[in-house]
Structure formats: C-alpha cells, structure tokens
Structure 1
Amino acid sequence: MEAPRIAVTGLGLITGAGDDVEQGWASVTAGISGIRANDLFDTAELQTDRAGLVTAAQPPGVDRCYWLAGTAVREALRHSGLDLDAADRDRGAVVVGSSLGAMPTLEGLHADLVHRGVLDAPAAAACQLPCVADHIAAAFDLRGPRVVLSNACAASAVALGYAAELLWREDADFVVCGGVDPLATLSAYGFSALGALDPRPCSPMSASTGLTLGEGAGFLILESVRHAERRGARVLAELDGYGLSGDGHHQTAPDPSGRGALAAMAEALRTAGFGPGDVDYLNLHGTGTPANDAAEPRALRMLFGERVPPASSTKSLTGHTLGAAGAVEAVASVLAVDRGKLPPTVNTRGVPQPHGLDIVPGRGRPATPGVVLSNSFAFGGNNASVVLGRPGRQGAGPRQADAVHEVVVTGVAGLAGAAGTTEELAAALATGQPCFTGTQELPGGGRAPFGRADAERAARGVNPSRARRMDPLSLLAAAAVADLHARHGKPTRAEAEATGIVFATGYGPISSVLEFHEGVLRHGIHGANPTLFANTVVNAAAGHVAMLHRFRGYTATLAGGTSSLQALQLASRVIARGAADRILVVAADEFPAQAVATQAALPGYAATPHVVPGGGTGLVLSEGAAAVLLERADTARARGARVLARVRGHGAAGEPAGLGRLRPDGHAWSRALRAALAEAGLAPGDVDTVVSAAGGHRVVDLAQARALRRAGLDGRPVLTPKAQLGETHGSAGALGLVAALTRPAPPGKLLLSGCAWGGSYAAAVLDTDLP
C-alpha cells in the first residue's frame, strides 16, 4: 500500500527579510538583505554587530521565541484556509524544530540567579525548550501529537521529516510544522568564541569568511493530498521525501569528505522516488563558514557529477536562523515552486564561486522548478535533506511505501541515580530499594532528596581525551550505550556505520548551558568557553555517542517529557518502512543543582526519599539514561540476535493545558493509550502489564488513573518503576521499558504510558510473547 502524498497548503514566515511571507519573498527575490545592526543586546565584545534581526514590534509580556512562532503559525493557518473550528483538533499535530527555544527569557532568569540569588521557579519551568510546542498547542487549541526536535541547525528540517512520518502513517489529519529561534546572547557569544562569525554580512559560497546569525520562524501546514482536496485547499507544493544521516566525525565541523551530506541527500531522493537528474534547484545549507562551504559542494559533486542544478543560499539574506533554518528555507523552496522564481545568493563581494556552482547571484531568477532539494546540516554531524516538489509531480522510482517490516527490540540497558548499570537497576527494582539515595542543598536552606548519577563512573569506559570534551548528559548517554554493548554485544564496524541514533531528553544539556552562560555573565567574551558551547546544543550527546561508536545512520533528537516514547515511535516507523535496519534509541537526563532547586520549588516535590505512586507523596527527581536497540526482525534473525520484544503499536495525543500545566481529567491521555492499542490490534483486556508513569505527583497520578479507566485498562497489572528510579522526565519511558524487560517474569503484552507537563501524552505497545 502506498503511503499518502503530503501537501503543503499554508506558509508562515517572519525573518529579518520581512514580517510575513509576502514581505519576505519580495525582499529575497529582489536581493534585499535583512542583515542589519543588532540592537537586542550589547554586541561590543562580539566579532560583529550584524544579524538577521526581525524589526517588527514585539508585544510586551511574551518571550521572543513564542511571539515569533505564534506569528508564523497564525499566518500559515490563515494562508491554508484551514478552519480549525471545523477540523478535528484531536488530529491536528504540532511538530517544532528549535535549538534555543525561549532562551531570551531563560537568560534573564539565570542572570537574576547568578547576580542576585533569585530563582523564579515557575517562570523557569515555563521557558524550557519543549514549551514552545506547548505554547503553540495552547494558543491554537491543537490536541494531536506534539513534539520538539532539536538537532541544532538542522532541527526544523528534521521536524519536517517527523511530520512526514506522522502523515504517511495517518497518525494525524494535518500537522502544524516548522521551526523557530530568536537571537540570544548564548549563541552570539558562543559563535564568537568559536571564531565563526563574519564581521561583515555573510558571504556564503563566495568569500566564505564566516556566518551571520539571524532569527525568525517558518511554519508550514502539511496534510495529505486527499485531505487537502476534500476541503478544497490549494496545494502549493508536495513534501515528497526526506533523508537524515550522521557524520560521526566532529562536534562542530562537518565531515570534509561530504559523505554524510551525500547520504542524506541520496536518501531524501530515494524516499521521494526521484533521481539526481530530476532536481531543478538546491537550497543550500550555505552558512558562509569555510568548512561548510567546502564540504557541501564536494557532496553535491558526488551526487550530481558535473551537472549540479542552480544552488543558492538564502542565509545570505536572512542570516543563519539556527533551528528555524530548515523550515525557513523550506518555505522559500515552496515559494520557488509555487511562484516560479529561484531565490538568489547575495553579498558575493565580487568573488567568483570557487567550486563552479551556479549560486543565482544578486537577484531572483525566473524558473519553473519541479523538484527542489533543501539541505540543513548541524553541530554533532547531523545532516538533513528535504525534497519538495510541484503538486502532482511523480518520480520514476518507487515512492514512499507503507510499513513493510516487523520491528523488534534486541537490546536494552539503563541506569538511574545510584544504580549505575542495568544489573544494579534491576536489583533495585527487585528489592524495592530507591535509587535516589542522595540529597541536594537548596537555596535558602534545606535539602531535597535526589538521585544523582555518578558521572565519573560513567566516564570510566570512555577514552579520557574524549571524556574531557563530553558534558554530563553525554557521559550518561555513553554509559547506557556501553552497558548495552556489554550485555548484548558490540556491532561490527559495518553494522555500526549503518546504525542510526535517535536521542531523547527531557530538558537537554542543562549543565553546559548554565555553565557557559554563567561564564559570559561573569566575564563576558573571556568567559565564553568554546568547548562548553559545543555541548549546549541538545543533540550534542548523540553526536558524542556517534563519534565514539562510528554510528552514521539515521539521526534525530527529541526533547520533552514523552520524548523517549516518541523516539521509539519514530525509530520504529523508519525501520518499518525500510529506511533503516538498526536504530539505537538513547535517552538521557541530567539535573545540576539549579535544576533540582527549580523542581523542588514547584508543588509536588517529595520531602523524603519515599515515593508511593498514587499515594500523594510527591516525586523525587533522578538522573538517568537508557539505550534500546531496535532492528528489522529479519535482520536480527540473520545475525542470530536474541529478540526481547516485538513492537506492536504507538499512540500520542495532546491537550491545550498551557505551559507547565496538566489537566487531571485523563481525556487526552486516554486517547494516546487507545491509539496505541488500536495500532497494535489489541483490546484493553489483552494487555498483561501497564508500565505506569505515576511517580508520586498527585496531579499526574490522578490523571493517569482516570486515563487508564477511560481506556478500559483499569485493573490491569501495573509496574511502577518510578517508585525506585525516580522521575527522570524524558528518559522515563525508555527506562520503563528497560525495567519491564529485565524482570524475571516476562511482562507479556506490554503497554508503556507517558506524559509531559504542558499536556503531551504518548504510549507504546510491545509484546514479549514471541512466536
């Protein structure tokens, strides 16, 4: 069965080039750059004061990230003609790519803590990275699956891929998909510390003397062509395919061979059913840095030979909008298809293109592109390519197929708090002993129970020269992967290079972000540590793990409280449709003192290290990590791997609860549970074990109890791993799977349940009753 074709029916855009789609497109095609003086913050110590600055007036009382995102989403919905009041809001998904999220607000809160010792815990909880999707869902009352992707500068291109997976499997009727990032001192000082900024407006693929930061948001309304036709919508273009890969080479520099970029482009075209000869225009990653501007043309030559299509960099007009770049450039690519004009590259400074590419210099060029390939590459060696085409244009090759392969679990490992290995974790679960045996001193006095992981122990299996460059989150992730290999065997080099990694985390590298920013607050540019900055991107841990083990396959990073369950879903979808043989899902969460203090200051934190799920004791925060190896069943059998479980189904849902909130009625949560059961083809009574998300917090535990009852699962046997492991947020779902699969008695048909503050829910069904 062929999967649905995906229509783009609405666009929203706000960048330095213009406040909306029409202004932005007019400026871009006329070659008028939006790079200007940055007056948002002091730039005296930086390499440049130039930036792609949005000039529209920001309303008071809202974070710049949320304002930019809301502006672009509102325009995209209006442009699409989608009537949300008539649509099924339960099937409207929100998929966002972002590297920084609400960083401007977070920076201000952190400055108050560093300089005045004041911690505004509720405000800090409302501006974490996953909150941008919660803000959009609440603002527009969208109740479908919700996720934030954070692969640094490739984030929103990866988001487009995630949205495609949802629509190909008909998990949603429509997806509000895009990317957003504001200008922030964190990124400005970080790129200055790396020496990566151009003192003048950037000159991609010409002088190539550095990048220029930008800000903005780009959003697209995606839906199946059938859904668009039923409501009489005009289809602007189709999202035909995407490809992701990892370099496994360096944290900040691309692989100079261009092999990773080539793999992403080739996979995007293969998925779309097109060949290199079908491509009419390339929207380049084109940052203006010497390394990127040499590696990307090399990859193009390997794919296209001597006949590379016209290829321009719109970053020369908008600046580099970081996590928003993939979506901003996808909007430009759709407009190129719909309006019949290629965007130009400006600021060439009279320098001849050194690689012989046609970069469409100066002004837009009339053309009729039928197939466009848009590239986004990122820190951590992440490569993403997206294919957008003229409506109805069909490739000669095979188009994206529906699920054709069974997916199985062939390895699990985990650690949490004081349990530094899977065996220790399993022992804690068997004996009922908590892993959160430590405490954390709180500002103003007092201590809170806390499960601190031993970072030094986690680093023991890592080459010391590499370990010194890794942050706590990366070390925890690496420890889980090393334990998985010890338990289930290491892959051969060929297997490793074909292995993908999907990384999940609740809040990302908090330690690195806070430490880097504190250095800037106290010492300015002299306190901006470039090694720390490289680890502030959420996908840094995945990059470190990939380099340690030479993983070069499919790569994505998800952030949020349900991220590990959604990572399992994404990896399963990709393997099932034949785009990968093996993907390692890795989840990790670390919490420095400031994070523990924030959580402990919010309602529902336990006063003692005694957690009773459903008992109103309060939760205890704990650091943790897990690794889960997913494979095609036939591939696993061929190599003689022991199968631990079969993947049967997934479900996700959301509610417009608002930032940091959760509705206790269980309605949305039950929809996620029922969706997973339906995909698995199971009735509630078929479930042998429910792995609960209950962890002592009264609101969460009540909401889940009601959700289980609404889904017909009330009374089924329940496993409550958070009673011993603590609340690990994003990694909780994967750790729940580890807990279930390491019990002496097989759990049978297993349902994993997860939730995130802000109103996002996910579930997965696996089966250990193997044929």
Structure 2
Amino acid sequence: MALRPVVITGVGVICAVGRDPEEFWARLTAGAGGITAVEDERFAAFEARFAGQVPDEWIDAQLPAEDTGLDRTARLALVAARQAVTQAGLGAATPATLPGERFGLVLGKCQATPTAAGGYQPMHATGDVVAGKLGMTGPRILVSTACAAGGNAVGLAKDKILTGEADVVLAGGVDPLLFGTYAGFAGLQALSARPCGPYSRSDGLNLGEGAAFLVVEALDHALARGAEPLAEVAGYGLSADAYHATAPDPTGRGGTTAMRRALSDAGLDPDAVDYVNGHGTGTPANDAMEKKVMRAVFGERAPQVPTSSIKSFIGHTLGAAGAVEAVASVLALRTATAPPTIGFTDEAIAESTLDFVPNTARPLHMDVVVSNNYAFGGNNASLVLRRPGGPREYDELPATEVVLTGLGPVTGLGTGIAEVAEAVANGRTAVGAAPSLEGRTFAPRSLWRHMNNLSRMAIAASRLAWEDAGLKLPRAALDNVGVIFATAAGSVESTDGFDESVLANPNKPAVLSFSNVVLNATGGAVCQTLGLRGPTTTICNGNASASIALDCAVEAVRAGKADVVVVVAADEAPRPGDGTRVDPYDRNSGEAPASASVALVVESAAHAAARGATPYARVLGSAHASAGAGDERSLVERAIAALPTEGVDLVVGAATGGAADEAEAGAVLDAVPSARLTATAGLTGDAGAATGALNLALAALALRDGVAPAIAGLTSPRAGTVESYVTKPELPATPAKALVLSAAPGSVRGGTLLGAV
C-alpha cells in the first residue's frame, strides 16, 4: 500500500444556512443560524418543532429538469456532488479527462429512502444515482454508521486512493428530514424545543437535513491536471464505544481513541492541532462526553484549543453531518477563520472552561484541523485535515499476507461451521429456513432478551467465528480488534415495528425499535457484547456488502490499524420461506429470501502464526466493478478481469436463482473455463449480505477440505453444460484457488481471490 499524499480539490454543500459553499461559509462566519420552526402540519404532533430545513427551491433551482422528479435524498446529493466536482474542475468523468473506473464514490447515509409505495429503496440506491449521473464506475461504497457516516466516508475514500483502486473519490453524506426519524428522536426525549445550544445549554438537539461532498484525490493526480489542493486528508481514525445502543460512553474513551488514531495516522501530535470542529449535538450526554475527550487528548492545553459546533447553525444532519463539518473544516483552513458556536449567553461564556468560540467567528491561523463525529451504535470517527504542502515523509507499507482464521455461520442449515460443513458434505439444503437459536444465548441475558433477531444472529455468528479462530486475547488487546458489519437492509423486524408504532401514534414510538433502525446498530451490539473497541464501520451495498467489508478489513490489517478484524454480515427475510426450490444457474429455479448471519475472522498471517492458529485460506486479492454503460454481464467480466485468475479451480458465485444468474454464469465460464462453478444460495436461499459472507466462508472451507456446496438439482443450466458446475459436494481434488463472487445487480459486482494455505 503506497502512502500517496491525498488531498481535497473540491467541496459542495447544501444545508439550512446555504445552498452552496459560499453562502454556507458566509452565514457561518456571520453567526447567522438557520434553525427554524417546522411548518409541516404533521410535525404539530410534537412539542419540539425546530429543525435545520432546506427550502425546495434551493434544491430544484440547481438541478436540470430531468432530475427534479427524483426523490429528495437523491436531489440533495446531486446538488452538493455537482458543486464539488465543478469546483475540482472535473465535471462528469470522461475517457479524455478522468476514466470512470478511476473515479469512485463513498457515500454516507443514516436513513433509508422511503418509496411512494410505502417501502424503502436499497440503501445504495442514492449512490447509484449520483455515480450514474457523474459517470463514476470506480469503487462504490455505501457506509452507514449513523451520525459518523459522512466523516467515515472521507476516510474510506482515502483508503481507496492509497490502495491504488482510484485516483479520485467523491466522498460525502446525505440525509433529508424525515417524519419517522423526527418521531424517534422525540420519543427518546432528545430534541430541544428551541434552537439548540451545544456546549452551553445542552438541553437537546435539533434535527437538520442536507448533503455535502468532498473531492478526495491523489496529490500527484491533482497536480498533473492543474488542480489546486484545498486541504490534505492527513489521517483518520475509527473506534467503537462498545457501551450502549444510543448513549455515548460517558468516559469519552471511544472518542478519545478515534482522535488519537487519526492523529497517529497523520503522523502528528496533539500539540499540532490548531482547531477542532466538534460533534456538538447539544444533548447533555454528548456534550459532557466530548468535553472529556478534549481534556483527555489535549491535557492542560485543552482550554487553549478552539472548538466549535456548526450544529448550532444547521441542526444534526445525521449521515451528512460528518461531511458537512469536513467542508466547514476545509473552509476554516482556507480562510484562517474558526466558525463560532452560537447560542451562548454571557453567563454560559463565563462558566465555560473550554474555548468553544462563542457566538462570533474568530480569525485564527491554522495548519491542522480535526473534525470529530460520534454516533448511535458507538461509532466514532475523527478526520485530520491540514494545510496542503506541509512537511511529511511518505513510505510504502510492507506487503502483509492476510488470512481467514475463523468462520461463524448462523443459517437454517446449521449453527457453527461444524454443523454447516456436515450439511454441505451430505448435500442437505434448508432454503428459507430460519436459523434456530432456541435455548442458546451468546450474550449476557440482560442484553440478549432486549435484542432483535438480527443482532442475535450477528452476535452468535461473531462468537462462533471467534471460538473457531481460537482467539484468546487479553482485555487490552481487544482495543485493536475491529468489527466491520455488512448488511443489505438492516433489521426488518425493528424497522417494521418502529414504522407501525409511528403510524399508530407518533408521540408513542417504539424507541427500542428506533435505536435498532440505524443499520450500524447490529455492529454496535457485536462490539458491546464482545468488548471490541477497534476500528468499526458498516457497509450497505446489497449482496456485495460482505466482499466490500472484507476489503476494508484487509486494508485495516495491512495498514496496521487493527490486529484482528471480525467481518460479520447479517440480513433477515421480509417474509417466511414458502418452500421454493433454489437451484442457482438453472433456468427452472426460483428465488427465496432467507435469514442468516455469517462472520469471518481476518488477521495477518504473522499474527495468526504467533498465536498458533491454522488459517482456512489466504486472501490473495479482490476487485469490484461498478455499474455504468454496458449490461450486467460486462459488469461481471470487469470484476473478474481485474484479478489474476490463473490456477483458479473453484468459483463460488453470487447467483440466487433468478434471471441475473445467466450473466454471471456466461462471464465465469468464458473467463475461467477450467474451474467448477457453484453458489451457496441453493443451500439457504438469498440472505442478502450474509449470502456473500457464506460464499466466502464455504469457499475457504473448500480450500481446506475439498468439499463445496453442490447444486444437486441443476438440469437446465443458463450457460454451459451441467459438467461445468459443482453438482456433488466432493470435489475431484482439493482446490488451490477459489474465486468468490458478490453482487448487487445493477450496482456493484465483486470478486475475491482466496488461496489454500
């Protein structure tokens, strides 16, 4: 992994105080807040009715007519995205300027976008719209770490440049103001009945809405095309509180760890920091915790470090917050001005023991700025931005072999790798069957009895993978164990329960369900139960989520950001199984939803060897292709072509029994004709992101044991002949290499190459 300097070359933002970066910054530095009473009559049900709102005309005036019919989330995102790429001098990707495959997108979102029919779009749909409009076919990631998602997105964008997968990545966040979300926060009694007062009154938050994007680019690429760097993305850090579903750890431990990791990543000491753009929601718990973080990181210098919260102007924009605040941090660096925290009284100023830049913007020379975000589920993210051109040496990290050492499937086929391996070897299937955890608890009962089904499955899978890996780490070492959660849709149970409660009475929402509606809640529950406080994030790219999550885990291990990472994927069926038979790649197959969770333990080969572990497989490489021009088959072909497939004996595909199987089968049989093709959906049905993780787990098992999932009922293949597929579990020979495919059809196709140990 070459450590190329990574910079920001363009920014875009739309929120309650501005329709573009210029208006946004002018209002911030003038101290002109944008939190107003909500006039929508539906909100009259609530006592607290203030929010940071974006007028519709601000959005639609900046869009071509063809885009004004899109949903509000997509429209907000497109406005900010186009602003950012225009400032960067890019526009839409073209072969002559920037090839689409070198132009990526990492988008942070907290809320799923409602549809007119009453359901929800896939979480990644907004990113697909933005990428399609701007011609991006490079890495495409949807990160959903609630209120930390926007800042998390900028960090992941940097990673994609460091790995060489892209030259430019558009990173940002978006969330609109939704009635259901408002009802949930009201139910938690977290809202202020007036414009919020972070770090002063701390009597509650205001929700907001908006979008922000930053063009994150390799410095050498930016200079080669004559672009001006606005700031350097010097470092970022992630951590888990492992404390509570909605409340921050009152000690500030998680927030402190994230900031220290970000500074370490940047090669800087706390003394180098000139200004902190704080999370500052205005709730008592968050503000008190954040003050402890400042004192822990800066020590005696804490009162001299200017810190402000722009949520006092715009409210809490949830998934967009970290990106909006990153834009503010870039502009602070550029203009040598610290924006204020408004809402301070003279009495509050006199009582404050830290410098929160009260009420009035301040001229301030800055070289280094930190932007912090803390979220539901205990996700913490810190970004370090610095003035471009600062001195720093960049070295290439040594090559690190990464292995899979633990597998934890929780499926209708069985619980634990031993049960599932036996079922695979005997050719059993359990399509649509729900995993059985009856009579078993994998967490303290005080936690277990309040958990939804998705969290129970994920915790069970993670514990089983942990035990399978033989991990016995001292408590202190758990701070260096990361968790990356992958899901296509999150908890159907909690989402339906919460939505029904709001429909029945918005003043009595199901608050326990609400805390589990955010997609990172399950990952947070895994961290809390297992006591893991390393880097954590949540990936939501449909059935491709698990392979992207594994990518992130491998990058974290290779960069030395974690000793071990637990990748856990989970999804649940929206309805019970109906007995449909699934024979992937067969023309007569049906499709069936399923519930499952699968966890993988990822670590360096050296770390595994030092503790005497025997890996299942080596992770040799991965590639993902994002949709653009061309059909589904070309998308599969691009993903496979990016990997060295010579010597691949087995391909575990992403097929789920539908018409899209044909594109995958045709591409695989042409690209890797000597390999046998199979898919795991024939065993369990389509379990969303968990199917992608099961593909990886059973491919790793096949590399060790020579037994693979069979498609016993395959008689009329969509491509090739029956002989090209695995129709019996016992393989002719134990494979040396396996190619594992993943898919969010119409969005992202991926491939992961695993090798025998």
TM-score if structure 2 supplies the norm length? 0.91
After TM superposition, list the pairs within 5 Å mapping 1:21-32 onto structure 2. 21-32=21-32
Task: Write the letter of the residue equivalent to 2:610.
Answer: A
**Does the CA-based 8 Å contact 1:688-1:748 persist in structure 2?**
yes
Q: Is 1:144 aligned to residue 138 of structure 2? A: yes
Measure, in 1, the Cα distance between the counterparts of 2:607 and 2:41. Answer: 54
Work out the CA distance in 2 between the residues paired with 1:355 and 1:583. 40
1:310, distance to aligned residue in structure 2 (A): 0.6
For residue 173 of structure 1, report the CA deviation from its aligned partner: 1.6
User: What corresponds to 1:345 in structure 2?
Assistant: 341
Structure 1 residues 259 and 404: CA distance shift in structure 2, 3 A: farther
Q: 2:718 corresponds to which residue?
A: none
Q: Identity over the aligned pairs, expressed in percent?
A: 39
Distance in 1 separating the partners of 2:433 and 2:24? 49
Q: Contact 2:466 / 2:601 at 8 angstroms: preserved in 1? A: no
Residue-by-residue CA offset, 1:211-230 (whole Å, 9 max, x unaligned): 11000000011110011111
Q: Residue 728 in 1 paired to residue 687 in 2?
A: yes
Q: Which one of the candidate residues 609, 612, 616 is aligned to 1:644?
A: 616
Deviates more, 1:725-734 or 1:400-409: 400-409
CA distance, structure 1, for counterparts of residue 73 and residue 383 of structure 2: 24
Residue 584 (str. 1) matches residue 551 (str. 2): no
Which AA in structure 2 matches 1:92?
A: F
Name the CA distance, whole Å, in 2 between partners of 1:428 and 1:408: 25
The match for 1:100 among 104, 111, 122 is: 111
Read off the aligned partner of 1:273 and give its amino acid letter.
G
Equivalent position of 2:716 in the other structure: none
Q: Distance in 2 between matches of 1:132 and 1:3?
A: 30
**CA shift for structure 1 position 349:** 3.3
Q: Secondary structure at the match of 1:323?
A: helix
Structure 2 partner of 1:602:
none
- CA offsets, 1:388-416, max 9 Å, x none? 11111134xx6575354221111111122
1:608 lines up with 2:572 in the alignment: no
Matched, 1:370 2:381: no
Matched, 1:687 2:648: yes
Partner of 1:703: 663
Cα displacement string for residues 47-81 of structure 1 (whole angstroms, at most 9, x for unaligned residues): 41100001142555321111110111111111111
Residue in 2 aligned with 1:762? Answer: 750
Question: AA paired with 2:136?
Answer: L
Contact 1:405–1:578 (Cα < 8 Å) also in 2: no
Structure 2 distance, partners of 1:72, 1:465, is 44
Matched, 1:88 2:48: no
Q: Retained in 2: the 8 A contact 1:97–1:149?
A: yes
Q: How does 1:117-136 map to 2 (within 5 A)?
A: 124=119, 127-136=121-130
**Partner amino acid, structure 2, of 1:565:** S
The yes-or-no answer on 1:66 pairing with 2:47 is no
Map 1:478-627; keep pairs closer than 5 Å.
Answer: 478-492=459-473, 493-526=475-508, 528-561=509-542, 562-593=544-575, 608-627=580-599
| In structure 1, C-alpha distance between the alignment counterparts of 2:347 and 2:745, rounded to whole Å | 51
Say whether residues 1:330 and 2:330 are aligned partners: no
Task: Please state if 1:390 is matched with 2:422.
Answer: no
> 369-378 vs 748-757, which deviates more?
748-757
- TM-aligned CA distance change 1:230 to 1:150, over 3 Å: same
What are structure 1's unaligned runs of at least 5 residues?
A: 111-123, 437-449, 598-605, 658-662
Structure 2 residue aligned with 1:380: 377
Cα distance in structure 2, aligned partners of 1:553 and 1:241: 16
2:264 pairs, out of 258, 270, 291, with: 270
Deviation at residue 231 of structure 1 after TM alignment: 0.8
C-alpha distance in 1 between matches for 2:495 and 2:520? 13
Shift in CA distance, 516/401, structure 1 to aligned 2, threshold 3 Å: farther
Partner amino acid, structure 2, of 1:38: V
Moved more, 174-183 or 47-56: 47-56
For residues 279 and 482 of structure 2, what CA distance do their matches in structure 1 show? Answer: 22
Change (3 A) 1:350 1:144: same
Return the offset for 1:418.
4.5
Q: CA deviation at 1:270?
A: 0.7
Shift of 1:250: 1.0
CA distance in 2, matches of 1:203, 1:649: 49
- The answer to whether the 8 A contact 1:96-1:178 is kept is yes
Alignment partner of 1:460 is 2:441: yes
Residue 725 of structure 2 aligns with which residue?
A: none
Match of 2:253 among 253, 256, 259: 259
Equivalent-residue separation in structure 2 for 1:503 and 1:723 (angstroms): 24
CA contact (8 A) 2:547 2:752 kept: yes
Deviation at 1:721, TM superposition (A): 1.5
Counterpart secondary structure, 1:305: helix
One-letter code aligned to 2:743: C
Matches within 5 A, 1:133-532: 133-308=127-302, 309-353=305-349, 354-395=351-392, 401-436=396-431, 450-454=432-436, 456=438, 460-492=441-473, 493-526=475-508, 528-532=509-513
Supply the distance in 1 between the matched residues of 2:395 and 2:333 (Cα, whole angstroms): 21
Offset of residue 741 of structure 1: 2.6
CA change 1:143–1:585 in 2 (3 A) is same
Which whole-Å CA distance do the structure 1 matches of 2:694 and 2:213 have between them? Answer: 33
Distance 2:293 2:394 in 1: 24
Cα distance between partner residues in 2 of 1:257 and 1:405:
35
Secondary structure at the residue paired with 2:117?
Answer: helix
Q: Which runs of 5+ in 2 are unaligned?
A: 61-67, 707-733
TM-score (norm 1): 0.89
Partner of 1:748: 736
Give the CA deviation at 1:579: 1.3
Q: Is the CA contact 1:651–1:762 (under 8 Å) kept in the aligned structure 2?
A: yes
The aligned residue for residue 632 of structure 1 is: 604
Q: Partner letter of residue 609 of structure 2?
A: R
* Shift of residue 471, structure 1, vs aligned partner: 1.3
Structure-1 separation of matches of 2:395 and 2:365: 24
Inter-CA distance 635–418: structure 2 relative to 1 (3 Å threshold) = closer
**1:432-472 per-position Cα deviation (integer Å, ceiling 9, x unaligned):** 32211xxxxxxxxxxxxx33333646x63333321222111
Q: Is the 8 A contact 2:584 2:658 kept in 1?
A: no
Please state whether the residue corresponding to 2:517 is helix, strand or coil: coil
Query: Does the CA-based 8 Å contact 2:649-2:674 persist in structure 1?
Result: no
Distance 1:566 1:332 in 2: 29
Alpha carbons of structure 1 residues 366 and 706: separation in structure 2 relative to 1, 3 Å: farther
Separation in 2 of the partners of 1:333 and 1:709? 50
- 1:77 to 2:88 alignment: no
